[in-house]
Structure 1
Amino acid sequence: MNWILLILGGLFETGFAISLGKAQQTTGKEMWLWLVAFAICVCISMYLLFKAMGGERAIPVGTAYAVWGAIGAIGTIIAGILLFKEPATFWRLFFLSTLVISVIGLQVVSSNA
C-alpha cells in the first residue's frame, strides 16, 4: 500500500510541475487557477509522501524521497514533451530510461530489505 501512495504522490508532483508551467504561459484568472492547482497538487503530493514513509510497511526516507522525486521528474519530462512541445532527443530519452531503471532497482532493493 505504501508503494501505491508513493507512486500517487509522485504523480501529483508531476501535477504541480505542470501547473507551474501552465501558470507561466497564462495571465489573469487562468494563471491564478493554475496556481491554485499547483498548491493543491503540492499539498496532496507531500501528504502522500509523508504517509508512504510511515506505518508498518514504511518505505525508508532515502528510498521514498528518491523514488518520489524520480516519478515526478519522469512524469514532468513526459508531460513537457507532450504538452509543452519540449524536444525528445536521443540523450534525453536515454537518461530518462536510466532514471526509470534506477527507480525500479530502488524498489526491488527496498522490498528485499
Structure 2
Amino acid sequence: MMEQLLSQLMRDARMEQAVAGLTLDNGMHMFAYPQEQGVLVAVGVGIGGGGQIQGASILRKRSQDMPRFGAWLPVQFNDGSWYVVRRTGANGDDAAAISEEELIAAEELLT
C-alpha cells in the first residue's frame, strides 16, 4: 500500500516538476522531490509530531543495523519536524522505487 502511494507521489513529482506529498493514516508524512537524476524521497513526522523524537536514538538505531537502515539519512528541519530521506534511481525508472519493507524501516527509525 505505502509502496503504491510512494510510486504515485514520485510520478506526480516528476510530471509536475514539483514536490508532491501526502499524510498517511498514522500521521506520518511522505514526500517526493524531483531531481535531475531520480527523486529524493522523505518519510517523517511534521510540525509538532516530532517533539518526542530524539536524534541520538535515530542515529543509534541506524548504526546498529546499517544493512536495514543505512540508506535512510535522518534530517531535522527548523520547524522541529523529523524525516528520513534517500534518493531513488533515474527518472522514469519505477523499478528504482522504494520497497514496502524499506518504507517500513524508515517509519521504524522514527519510532
Task: Place the TM-score, normalised by the shorter chain, in its bin.
Answer: under 0.3
**TM-score between both structures, scaled by the size of structure 1:** 0.27
Q: Which has the larger radius of gyration?
A: 1
TM-score, reference length from structure 2: 0.28
Higher relative CO (CA 8 A, sep ≥ 6), structure 1 or 2? 1
Structure with bigger strand share is 2
